[in-house]
Amino acid sequence: KVPLTAVPQRTAISHAFGGLAAGLVGTAKFVLWSVYEPEELSQFRMAAIVAEVLLGFLTVTGSLMAAGKLQEVKWIPQRPVTYPFQNVSNIGLLGLAVLFGVLLVLNPTGAGAGYLFAGVILLALAFGVLLIIPIGGADMPTVISILNSYAGLSAVAMGFVLDNKLLITAGALDGASGLILSIMMCRAMNRSFANVLFGAFGQVQAVEADSQQRHYKSETIEGAAQVLEQASLVVIIPGYGLAVAQAQHRVRELYDQLTKAGITVKFAIHPVAGRMPGHMNVLLAEAEIPYSDLIEMDEINADMPQCDVALVIGANDVVNPAARTVKSSPIFGMPIIDADKAKTVFAIKRSKSPGFAGIDNELYFQDRTFMLFGDAKAVVGDLAKHLAGGGGH
């Protein structure tokens, strides 16, 4: 059984296997037809095989790299890896693979066809790795959607190779849905496709110098529970830390205690919170939080100035005011949940380390923000217990 925290990695690995299947089928068909039935290897079929192999194999290595980053595998760098002329070299690599493919289409059974085909495979595998290493963890939900789209498109090409209309239809639906979801998520971050794929988002920049002189204000569980008891509107903002701690059921207990006391509770859902599309919705649905209380970012932001307490659980970059004001920040321009506009902010965090984008969160240093350090499951559970035994609203 895969834990919910590992579902993004599991999804990426599924895409890798889908791409591998397409790539291997394309390779098998090329070898079979070129050796035994060269008359079957028409230019159209060769074009479909090239597309299938190129998309399939770049999806394999790209998805494995994405899964490795999410799993924090030691030999895969978590931060974006950049080097001079990176985008030029990547585009050149892809262009070379396409050139090999065009040469194959023009002469599918030529003397050097086997070498060209092997070149397409190797270049696709290399391109998949080089495509993902400059992308930071904050963009992983979008990257997984894009890889899903690539896997679907490789299935479409496989359908043309095998003359399978069902495969073409299913692959087209998969590819289109992945593409549409990617576009929607890019819009949610106020960024373009090209910026996600080539912008090295999440790169650590030189904005950390004064964090050493700044200090958090912390609060006790008892103090936070007392403030929650006096609130009329509480907005809970979940993030990846909620998934890591498996705290969704404790959040349900806290939700029950607050609503029992007559306090209105809403959940603010950022489109890219977590590590895959809909990550927070899945977690909260598992804990049977009413769907009507899950509010999207654009809608909840209008209520934040009236919010008495914003409870940030494991979210970081999606509530960072630096996205509005600090032009040097890698998240500048990304729409965020306006937690800083609430009257009081409690932020539950495992440690003082920055989020996946690698930068300090300006929210944590503001006057109205109080930190509750510790495991989210334990902290939320303690808050629920204090509210249960501490009287009504």
Active site positions, annotated: 317
| CA 212-214-309 angle, 5° bins | 135
- H or E stretch including 248? helix 248-260
Q: What are phi and psi of 103, to 5 degrees?
A: -60, -40
CB 5 within 8 A of CB 246: yes
Contact 189, 142 (CB under 8 A): yes
Instruction: Please say whether the beta carbons of 228 and 379 come within 8 A.
Output: no
Cα→Cα distances 206→327, 333, 360, Å: 12, 18, 11
- From CA 326, how far away is CA 332, in angstroms rounded? 6
Q: Which helix (H) or strand (E) holds 346?
A: strand 344-349
Cβ atoms of 326 and 360 within 8 Å: the answer is no
The DSSP line for 252-310 is HHHHHHHHHTT-EEEEEE-TT-SSSTTHHHHHHHHTT--GGGEEEHHHHTTTGGG-SEE
Tokens 């790299």 appear where? 65
User: Side chain identity at 97, as an amino acid letter?
Assistant: A
Q: Which amino acid is at 41?
A: L
Of the candidates 342, 388, 386, 384, the residue with the CA atom closest to the CA atom of residue 251: 384
What 8-state DSSP symbol labels residue 218? B
CA distance 70 to 77: 10
Map tokens 């639906």 to a residue: 173
SS3 100: helix
CA distances from 134 to 94, 175, 281, 367 (A): 16, 23, 28, 35
- d(CA 210, CA 208) in angstroms, rounded, equals 6
Question: Can you tell me whether residue 143 is helix, strand or coil?
Answer: helix
